Structure 1
Amino acid sequence: MIMGSRGPQLSKLLCFVLLMASDFSVPRVLAVVESCGAEEADACINKKKALSLKIIAIVSILLTSMIGVSLPLVTRSVPALSPQRSLFVIVKSFASGIILATGFMHVLPDSFEMLTSSCLDDNPWHKFPFTGFVAMLSAIVTLMVDSLTTSFYSKKRSPGVVLPESAGAAAGDQEMGAAGGGHSHFHGHGHHHGSKVEVEGSQLLRYRVIAMVLEIGIIVHSVVIGLSLGASNNTCTIKGLVAALCFHQMFEGMGLGGCILQAEYKFIKKAAMAFFFSVTTPFGIALGIGLSSTYRDDSPRALITVGLLNACSAGLLIYMALVDLLAADFMGPKLQGNIRLQIKSYAAVLLGAGGMSLMAKWA
């Protein structure tokens, strides 16, 4: 195993770092804002009907999330959908476009709207672009964590350790060489196999870091959108959101599921990551229902907190989609050596990003 027992601790550390900006900023600025006016009368406001729609949303979003994230994992036995095949690359490009559009077209605009709301004082919220600033810091912090995590685990493992489970044959040659020489230097074909396995091990390490960081960014965003839906009593808004979020969770889950598959985690860790992705949005909705009597999404406290969290999530998702998913695949040897596959993958990215951008009309 690459990540070892420090994986969960590292995930918590990353989540803590990404949320530090909002945790330190919110308490200081809450005192300078005042509550907005009470909720206006609206024909769409119906608490009883809204509760029924929220329960439907919890069930439907949970099911679509489970299907989306599990689909790449359960179809590994299908030859056409294995990570080595071209179809997998195309589907992953489509899902990466979904994730990219989520950051640019959904999370980032929501943050801008919240942090420039008329409910907030003109100074400092209308004087400085907090959304862009926090999103930029989030992307930089994600880069730092991405880079430092990879460096840490690359240096931690010993030179003779073989990481990919699929490299069993090469590992046998290396271990015999190590037993004969007492150290990790190999000669002849043994050195050749060792170099190949090291490259595969480094790539597997990158896949595992990517899957872990992406999971955290998606979970933060999913809880926030679930909370907003659960706290709302506007039936007109909820109806459109349920359909849009089902589409969103399905294909965003496929992108995450593809990363988890390439990371080659053991079954328990795969199941845990799929589970947490699937339940975060329904959990956010349930939390919003429980807080609906006290939580108002147009209150200054909610606008500031959710706006800053959305900015953090947007920076993370945009960085991951562009750098760790799209750039890594399109600049890799598989796509660089196949122009036709590149064109198909570009079309898949545009289709995914376009479809998710269209969803911004309703959600």
Structure 2
Amino acid sequence: MITSRSLCIIFFCILLVLLLPNIVLVRGECTCDPEDEDRDKTQALKYKLAAIASILVAGAIGVYLPVLGKTIPALSPERKIFFLIKAFAAGVILSTGFVHVLPDAFENLTSPCLDEHPWGDFPFTGFAAMVAAIGTLMIDAFATSYATSYYRKSHFGEAEDNVSDEEKVGEHAGHVHVHTHATHGHAHGSIEYAGESELLRHRVISLVLELGILVHSVIIGISLGTSESPKTIKPLVAALTFHQFFEGMGLGGCITQAKFKSRGVAILAFFFSLTTPAGIAIGIGISSFYDENDPTALIVEGIFNAAAAGILIYMSLVDLLAADFMNPKMQDNKRLQFGAHVSLLLGAGCMSLLAKWA
């Protein structure tokens, strides 16, 4: 069985490979005109440092808030309020994919700084988002299938052996109740199997969702860190602080349902909280030679933004919203259903409003 530790190791190896190209970008010549903006390195650095602190704290609070359900009964996944929180957070993540990340990807890959061929001949942004969404579906389906196959072999195989032995004893002794006991064992095993399969699926959802969030968080951090315009950075500090808090709530809800051990929760929360501040720090370090209009930077950022958008849109619609809105608890409770719809619209609306500044 794939353990949570193995899943975390695989996840962060993939993350490292994906993010390396964002860190090492070579400056190149570009024929398009640079943006006219007020530059003040000293003042900009102050805002960047403030952004690192505020985003770090907001992210940590957001991701740990749902996790506190273990100690605060009101935030437990079994409570109705948890459905409302998850609907709000799913709206935030959906809006992040559609309103924040995908438009940035389109802007990157349709920039006049890129060659007309091939970048003007094919909609690479939509294609990359589609491929990422399909890839997420495949990972989701494969993990569920693997869990199903493994659990059947390891548990049902043993149960069938036990049934055969007990049936033989029953035939010799004439005790029908032995067979009935074995049947109960089968039922118990089916319940265990369903729970184990669902648990693994929640863990895969948490890791894939975090991957999509972290990829675009690093890019956002690098973009902010390389900017030298206080006028541009100032509104971003507040906007990205709220952005990170709301995204953290969505991720924290998934982590809670995945029931990772304390160490796994700490690792996932740590990387989420640290990624955007780390991106800002990297941006500060490379700001002296980084060119945001460099074709290599535009292509890498555009492709990764498009892929992140595809992951976030798929995860929010399929694994968060569809799973909860089709849950019998919500289907049987019209008030909860109405509240979840309102929470979803509020989450999507709040994050969409932040697109004015971020």
TM-score of the superposition, structure 1-length normalised?
0.86
From 71, 76, 82, the equivalent of 1:88 is: 82
From 137, 140, 156, the equivalent of 1:143 is: 137
> Quick check: 1:122 aligned with 2:110?
no
> Quick check: 1:360 aligned with 2:355?
yes
Moved more, 335-344 or 107-116: 335-344
Q: Compared with structure 1, are the counterparts of its residues 193 and 152 closer, same or farther at alpha carbon in structure 2 (3 Å cutoff)?
A: closer
1:206 is aligned to: 201
2:340 is aligned to: 345
Displacement over 4 Å in runs of 4+: 12-20, 37-41, 158-162
**Paired AA for residue 95 in structure 2:** A
Decide whether the 8 Å contact of 1:3 with 1:153 is kept in 2: no
SS of the residue 2:182 aligns to:
coil
Cα distance between partner residues in 1 of 2:64 and 2:305: 26
1:11 is aligned to: 11
2:42 is aligned to: 48
> Quick check: 1:231 aligned with 2:226?
yes
- Give CA-to-partner distance per residue, 1:306-350, whole Å, 9 cap, x none: 111100100011111111111111112222222221111011111
**Paired AA for residue 47 in structure 1:** K
1:285 is aligned to: 280
Cα distance between partner residues in 2 of 1:225 and 1:122: 26
1:102 is aligned to: 96
> Quick check: 1:247 aligned with 2:239?
no
2:270 is aligned to: 275
2:292 is aligned to: 297
1:219 is aligned to: 214
Decide whether the 8 Å contact of 1:53 with 1:238 is kept in 2: yes
- Give CA-to-partner distance per residue, 1:258-295, whole Å, 9 cap, x none: 10011011100000000000000000000000000111
SS of the residue 1:296 aligns to:
coil
Shift of 1:221: 1.0
> Quick check: 1:336 aligned with 2:331?
yes
Give 5+ residue unaligned stretches, structure 2.
168-178
SS of the residue 1:157 aligns to:
helix
Number of residues of Structure 1 aligned to a counterpart in Structure 2: 340
Q: Compared with structure 1, are the counterparts of its residues 146 and 10 closer, same or farther at alpha carbon in structure 2 (3 Å cutoff)?
A: farther
- Give CA-to-partner distance per residue, 1:45-96, whole Å, 9 cap, x none: 1111001110010011000000000111123322221100100010011000
Decide whether the 8 Å contact of 1:95 with 1:255 is kept in 2: yes
1:112 is aligned to: 106
> Quick check: 1:308 aligned with 2:331?
no
Cα distance between partner residues in 2 of 1:118 and 1:194: 60
TM-score of the superposition, structure 2-length normalised?
0.87
SS of the residue 1:187 aligns to:
helix
Please provide the CA RMSD for this pair.
Answer: 2.9
Cα distance between partner residues in 2 of 1:34 and 1:326: 45
Cα distance between partner residues in 1 of 2:56 and 2:17: 28
- Give CA-to-partner distance per residue, 1:188-231, whole Å, 9 cap, x none: 44333332222222221211111111111111111110010001
- Give CA-to-partner distance per residue, 1:88-122, whole Å, 9 cap, x none: 01001100000000000000000101111111122
Q: Which has the larger radius of gyration?
A: 2
